[in-house]
Amino acid sequence: MSAPATLLRREFIKAGAALGGGLLVSLYLPPVDADGNVAEGADEQQFALNAFVRIGTDESVVVISSHSEMGQGIYTSLPMLLNEELEADWARISVEAAPVDKVYNHPIYGVQMTGGSTTSPAEWEHYRKMGALARTMLVQAAAKQWNVDPASCHVEKGVVIHAATQRRATYGSLASAAAQLPPPANVPLKPVSAFTQIGKPTRRLDTPSKTNGSAQFGLDVILPGMLTVVVARPPVFGGKAAKIDSTETLKISGVKAVEEIPSGVAVIATGFWPAKLGRDKLVIEWDPGPNAGLTSEEMLREFSETSKQPGKVAKIVGDPATALASAAKTITAEYDVPYLAHAMMEPLNCVVDLRADSCEIWTGTQFETVDRANAAHVAGLDPEKVQIHTTLLGGGFGRRANPASDFVVEAVHVAKVAKAPVKVVWTREDDIRGGWYRPMWHDRFAAGLDASGNPVAWTHTIVGQSIMMGTPFAGFAIKEGVDSTSVEGAADILYGIPNLQVDLHSPTIGVPVQWWRSVGHSHTGFSVEAFLDEVAYAGGKDPYELRRKLLEKQPRMLAVLDLAAKKANWGEKLPAGVGRGIATHFSFDSYVAQVVEASVGKGGEVRVHRVVCAVDCGLVINPDTVKAQMEGGIIYGLTAALKTEITLKDGRVEQGNFNDYPMLRMYESPEIEVYIVPSTESPTGVGEPGVPPVAPALANAIFAVTGKRMRRLPIRASSLA
Amino acid sequence: MTKFFVNGKPVQVDVDPSTPLLWVLRESLALTGTKFGCGMALCGACTVHLDGKAIRSCVAPVSRAEGKHITTIEGLSMDLTHPLQKAWIELDVPQCGYCQSGQIMSAAVLLAENLKPSDEDIDEAMSGNICRCGTYPRIRKAIHRAAELASERRPK
């Protein structure tokens, strides 16, 4: 999930010195009695120096990750941060998912979660401090044993050394003694210039388990006596089962029960296959509810109509109305993007073991605190009685941070009626038709150009559902009726245009929507950068040169733009039939520019040959991870640009599997080059910023080669044939 | 009762013979490395080998395995010594990792049949496997690298 980190950070500093200031050493230590002894119950073998790292007497170093691993590499980056200060032997380090506890709350968002491309920015100091704290205590323990000054000791790969007397002690041998020491109040951190691990390409710790089948995802969890459940959900959002006939279902061997739950009808069986066969045999008469009239083509027309009137003003600079009226030339355009499903490769699933006074949940989630509260409510238990075991996520992209905890809450409802541990499995069709989509958006633009072709006025009216409404973040994300995530990437464009207005309509529609990798930027990146290309051509300017001029006062974006253009040989001749397009986008505090080379076949089929990407995401923790996230973001963005849309007809989702919701495949995957701008600024987002620029860079490349503007995604061959 | 071999070992399962092999592997035999992605042979996450050929286990009834040899990701090599595993680790291919068992099993058949696959051969063999994280560029490089590693291992 995601929201603009800048906005939330500012709000939270104001709201919560308590949140930030709560990160005290003592919070993370095991209970200590008056004599300084670790309280009863603490594991003698595995002293917890603090809740973020556990050093065993067997020399193991376990880093506890307060964030979920969904492919973004955080199970390697957080240990790198911590070990920069701890200086243990990297080969000894492993990672564990944190349980749910307030000590693991996200330092910016105030709940335990993973999203917003914020893990590295938020944990950048935190995990280093935890490492420094542990090292300091281990060194103190050694110094105490040897009766020397701790300052005269140093550490090499998890061994404390007193050089003068040539004494050595390993972390494992010191761990128990260190845990008895009072934690130091403050520990200094290394300056950037002294880093030995941060910034060095480091192989991911989770790769071996992901190449031999041993990696454990939620779907892989097996409990003794567990039943498997498939749920029939209403075909229209907000619908309900009016009449259920389960006669044929109950005849299937392995089907244990059919139960109505709030989200549909659960088929409870001994395995997936009987559950699925059983669901196929259900005869359900659905009451479609209030949303059976929704049809995408009509909604598109309504959105366009709505956009003719200005909405709630999100941003105004200068006097755009007058500037437009007096411009030498004006151009207008409308852009459309559809609802999109996240389509993680691992379909949603959740395992629940519900007992009289406890509830244990195993699932790949991005939203632990919220899931726990929602699960506790359904289970009728205090949140403290609910424990979540966060497994690896087979993709997240925002879907697994669901504000209603839909896939968790449903599984708890099932567990209540099944009276046994249950695993609820969503089929691919369930997942694609399950809602919580990236909203469909309509963007209407007008630009005014002066006599020399420079843009002097820019208006942008946005129509689309609010994502933040009804979420825990609504309070600070929605101000005066404007959801900041609806206008991010539009209201905060870096281009120096003297008169600008961005306004917003947020219709209420019965389709559940959610953050989807890059959130609002996933539509503003496309529409703003594609329309800017139109402005460049209308003014007779080279699209790269116009961007350079408008970014005069934005040195970091200018540097990224120049780097991408240079590496892509902007301006140099391409083979006949190949076009080049460029786009930049600022999101999650990171600066990205991309150049796409593409061609269009006789039947209108688009072929993307090469994508050059430059990124400035501040100081880089693991360069190879940054590259991987840019590569992945580009492929994700190209899939949205060329392949996918969720459409509704009479309230029903028309897509269901990878045949009609197709993903980019190997043979369509372009060559991708990623260049990182070196920086010593604090780290900024990486998981999402690679997505927004690729669709407009592609649309602009298609224009360069065909003269046709692609203003609606996905780009269809039929509009280019 | 259906009898077959999984990763060299004889197994027998008592399930409806129309049950897809995928669910037999995952639920009856607890070999969870083979993944469920689409249930329609569209994504390749469930790819295993049946007598050395890549098949989509989500649509293959277990009866098809009767008397045959099935290899799953767990049988490729648990100790990470297969050239594909080495190359995958060297190039840090996986992101979320969910599709990678299927990717590796498809690539293993390609390399068994083609010692030095071209980019076109890779497109041909690998386009049935979807990766939502977008690791395709690295998969391509890793297959080339694995071919190199395999050729170094073969006696000259």
Average pLDDT of chain A, as a whole number: 92
Sheet holding A578-587, edge to edge: A578-587, A590-600, A606-616, A671-676
Give the pLDDT confidence of A478-489 residue by residue, as tens digits.
999 999 999 999
Residues A165 and A243 in one domain: no
Range in A168-177, A209-218, A389-398, B107-116 with the lowest mean pLDDT: A168-177
**Is the CB of B85 less than 8 angstroms away from the CB of A212?**
yes
- Min Cα–Cα distance to chain A from B75, Å: 8
Residues A237 and A262 in one domain: yes
Give the pLDDT confidence of A70-122 residue by residue, as tens digits.
999 999 999 999 999 999 999 999 999 999 988 888 988 889 999 999 999 99
**Is the CB of B33 less than 8 angstroms away from the CB of A212?**
yes
Q: Show the domain range for A144.
A: 5-191
Which residue in A629, A544, A554 sits closest to A72, CA to CA? A629
Structural domain contains residue A123: yes
Interior/surface letters A3-22, b for 16+ CB within 10 angstroms, e for the rest = bbbebbbebbeeeeeebeee
**What local confidence, expressed as pLDDT, does residue A21 receive?**
21
B136 touches A669 (CB < 8 A): yes
- Nearest neighbour of A394 by CB, restricted to B30, B85, B96: B96
Which residue in A229, A270, A258 sits closest to A424, CA to CA? A229
Q: Binning pLDDT at 50, 70 and 90, where does residue A49 land?
A: very low
Residues A487 and A520 in one domain: yes
Residue A394 with chain B: CB contacts under 8 Å = 35, 96-98
Residues A457 and A420 in one domain: no
Residues A374 and A263 in one domain: yes
Instruction: Compute the distance between CA of residue A61 and CA of residue A79 in angstroms, rounded to an integer.
Output: 10
Instruction: Compute the distance between CA of residue A204 and CA of residue A210 in angstroms, rounded to an integer.
Output: 10
A336 touches A644 (CB < 8 A): no
Is the pLDDT at A42 greater than 60? The verdict is no
A322 and B CB contact within 8 Å: no
Residues A275 and A327 in one domain: no
Residues A26 and A149 in one domain: yes
| A573 CB-near residues (< 8 Å, 6+ apart) | none
User: Which residues are registered as beta bridge partners of A5?
Assistant: none
Three-state DSSP class for residue A371:
helix
| CATH code, A269 | 3.90.1170
What residue ranges define each of the domains in chain B, with the CATH number in brackets? 2-75 (3.10.20.30), 83-153 (1.10.150.120)
Is the pLDDT at A10 greater than 60? The verdict is no
Structural domain contains residue A430: no
Give the pLDDT confidence of B126-150 residue by residue, as tens digits.
999 999 999 999 999 999 999 999 9
Which percentage of chain A shows pLDDT scores above 70?
Answer: 93
A555 touches A565 (CB < 8 A): no
**Is the CB of B31 less than 8 angstroms away from the CB of A657?**
no
| A526 CB-near residues (< 8 Å, 6+ apart) | A335, A337, A641, A692, A695, A696, A699, A713
Give the pLDDT confidence of A416-466 residue by residue, as tens digits.
999 999 999 999 999 999 999 999 999 999 999 999 999 999 999 999 999
Domain count, chain A: 3
Structural domain contains residue A66: yes
Largest CA distance in chain A: 83
Residues A367 and A333 in one domain: no
Q: Binning pLDDT at 50, 70 and 90, where does residue B156 land?
A: low
C-alpha dist (Å) from residue A654 to A435, A437, A662, A715: 12, 14, 13, 18
Give the pLDDT confidence of A620-638 residue by residue, as tens digits.
999 999 999 999 999 999 9
Residues A47 and A96 in one domain: yes
Interior/surface letters A177-202, b for 16+ CB within 10 angstroms, e for the rest = bbbebebeeebeeeeeeebebbbeeb
Residues A327 and A400 in one domain: no
User: Which residues are registered as beta bridge partners of A48?
Assistant: A54
Instruction: Compute the distance between CA of residue A582 and CA of residue A586 in angstroms, rounded to an integer.
Output: 14
Structural domain contains residue A614: yes
Q: Identify the helix (H) or strand (E) that includes residue A8.
A: helix A5-15
A429 touches A300 (CB < 8 A): no
- Min Cα–Cα distance to chain B from A231, Å: 16
Instruction: Compute the distance between CA of residue B83 and CA of residue B85 in angstroms, rounded to an integer.
Output: 5
Structural domain contains residue A350: no
A541 touches A499 (CB < 8 A): no
**What local confidence, expressed as pLDDT, does residue A7 receive?**
27
Instruction: Compute the distance between CA of residue A560 and CA of residue A675 in angstroms, rounded to an integer.
Output: 9
**Is the CB of B95 less than 8 angstroms away from the CB of A72?**
yes
B100 and A CB contact within 8 Å: yes
Residues 109-148 of B with CB under 8 A from A: 122-124, 126-140
Give the pLDDT confidence of A337-375 residue by residue, as tens digits.
999 999 999 999 999 999 999 999 999 999 999 999 999
Residues A641 and A704 in one domain: yes
Structural domain contains residue A700: yes
H-state helical runs in A87-191: 119-123, 126-146, 171-179
Cis peptide before A150 (omega within 30 of 0): no
Q: What is the 3-state secondary structure (H, E, C) of A668-688?
A: HCCEEEEEECCCCCCCCCCCC
A367 touches A400 (CB < 8 A): yes
Residues A474 and A413 in one domain: no
Which percentage of chain B shows pLDDT scores above 90?
Answer: 95
Give the pLDDT confidence of A681-704 residue by residue, as tens digits.
999 999 999 999 999 999 999 999
| CATH code, A467 | 3.30.365.10
- Min Cα–Cα distance to chain B from A76, Å: 11
- Main-chain dihedrals φ then ψ at residue B79, nearest 5 degrees: -95, 15
- Min Cα–Cα distance to chain B from A636, Å: 7
